[in-house]
Chains A and B, each alone.
Chain A
Amino acid sequence: AIRMTQSPSSLSASTGDRVTITCRASQGISSYLAWYQQKPGKAPKLLIYAASTLQSGVPSRFSGSGSGTDFTLTISCLQSEDFATYYCQQYYSYPLFGPGTKVDIK
Chain B
Amino acid sequence: EVQLVESGGGLVQPGGSLRLSCAASGFTFSSYSMNWVRQAPGKGLEWVSYISSSSSTIYYADSVKGRFTISRDNAKNSLYLQMNSLRAEDTAVYYCARGIAATDHAFDIWGQGTMVTVSS
Name the B residues within 8 Å of A87 (CB-CB): 44-45
Q: Which of B8-16, B23-31, B80-88, B105-113 contacts A (4 or more CB under 8 A)?
A: B105-113
Which residues 30-61 of A sit at the B interface, judged by CB distance below 8 A? Answer: 32, 34, 36, 38, 43-46, 49-50, 53, 55
Task: Count how many chain A residues have C-beta atoms less than 8 Å from C-beta atoms of the other chain.
Answer: 22
> Would A97 and B44 be within 8 Å (CB), given that A43-B110, A43-B111, A44-B110 are in contact?
yes
Excluding A91-B105, A97-B44, 13 further A-B contacts by CB distance (< 8 Å) are A32-B103, A32-B105, A43-B113, A44-B95, A46-B100, A49-B103, A49-B106, A50-B103, A89-B45, A97-B45, A97-B47, A98-B44, A100-B45
- Chain B window 51-92, contacts with chain A (Cβ cutoff 8 Å), 1 for yes, 0 for no: 000000001010000000000000000000000000000000
Q: Does A77 contact B (CB under 8 A)?
A: no
